[in-house]
């Protein structure tokens, strides 16, 4: 994968586009990709035009040596420009939720409504994801031929079979063997930025319709953070999906879909 530098060149994010109606842009989380949202996208495409994106350094999108939230928000605005879209509803999960928030706060006129899934505009002091990156980087892909051969090589650090399966979804077969579809070098270098607070103006606000959905079993969004969220997003509504963790759209897809359909016009 060729490394694309900064914003000097046009960013061409990979995406999937299905359905007709008002455009809804869906942004995945860290280590994710547009394909993770296929099931949700197919259901929503009955009523909307659904554009699921691979964010920079993920999936089939270009690799860059930086990935601040401001840069990724600029990517989204550029994507809307490329598609000839003045506005879109934006749905973001986890890291994608922070990208969605930053886009709304910096270019609110382009965001018709905002849905943020299980993330808050705060710093997350978690070192777990950095250890994931380090472990994945340590794997010698020339010594394996199939994805399932990598699983036992990372199980000492990444104990959850579900998490391992999710991460190994980023491996693809090429004519030269297995390769990662995520830019592990940049992810490792930028992990503090990814876990941090998006750089926005102190007086920034998004006055459009906004829904924050959190999983009842997740600790990513705390009630103590609601005041900050209300300050940035005055028209926010909060909703909890009971029995769901951080990957609420995968764990409780029916409840997640209902929350979206009740909120979106």
Catalytic positions, written as ranges: 94, 185, 246
Number of residues that make up the chain: 265
- C-alpha to C-alpha distance for 254 and 262, rounded to whole angstroms: 12
Kindly give the pairing relationship between strand 111-117 and strand 210-215: parallel
CA distances from 14 to 21, 33, 161, 183, 232 (A): 21, 10, 28, 15, 30
- C-alpha to C-alpha distance for 139 and 67, rounded to whole angstroms: 24
- C-alpha to C-alpha distance for 113 and 119, rounded to whole angstroms: 17
Q: What one-character-per-residue DSSP string does 194-263 give? A: HHS-----TT----S-EEEEEETT--SS-GGGHHHHHHH-TTEEEEEETT--SSHHHHSHHHHHHHHHHH
* Strands of the 236-241 sheet, one edge to the other: 15-18, 49-53, 23-27, 88-93, 111-117, 210-215, 236-241
Q: Which helix (H) or strand (E) element contains residue 27?
A: strand 23-27
Sign of CA pseudo-dihedral 237, 239, 215, 88:
negative
Nearest CA among 102, 78, 91, 14 for reference residue 50: 91
């Amino acid at each position: 994968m060729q490394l694309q530098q900064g914003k000097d060149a046009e960013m061409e994010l990979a995406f999937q586009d299905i359905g007709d109606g008002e455009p809804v842009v869906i942004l995945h989380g860290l280590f994710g990709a547009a394909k993770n949202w296929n099931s949700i996208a197919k259901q929503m495409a009955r009523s909307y035009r659904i554009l699921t994106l691979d964010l920079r350094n993920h999936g089939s999108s270009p690799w860059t040596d930086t990935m601040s939230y401001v840069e990724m928000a600029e990517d989204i605005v550029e994507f809307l420009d490329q598609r000839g879209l003045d506005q879109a509803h934006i749905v973001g999960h986890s890291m994608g939720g922070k990208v969605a928030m930053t886009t709304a706060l910096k270019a609110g006129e382009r965001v018709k409504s905002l849905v943020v899934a299980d993330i808050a505009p705060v710093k997350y002091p978690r070192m777990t994801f950095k250890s994931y990156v380090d472990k994945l980087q340590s794997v010698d892909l020339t010594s394996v031929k199939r994805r399932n051969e990598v699983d036992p090589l990372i199980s000492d650090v990444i104990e959850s079979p579900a998490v391992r399966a999710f991460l190994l979804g980023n491996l693809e077969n090429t004519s030269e063997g297995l390769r990662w579809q995520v830019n592990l070098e940049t992810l490792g270098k930028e992990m503090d930025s990814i876990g941090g607070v998006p750089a926005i103006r102190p007086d920034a606000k998004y006055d459009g319709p906004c829904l924050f959905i959190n999983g009842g079993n997740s600790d990513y969004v705390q009630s103590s953070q609601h005041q900050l969220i209300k300050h940035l997003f005055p028209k926010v509504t909060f909703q909890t999906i009971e029995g769901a963790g951080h990957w609420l759209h995968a764990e409780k897809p029916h409840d997640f879909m209902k929350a979206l359909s009740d909120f979106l016009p």
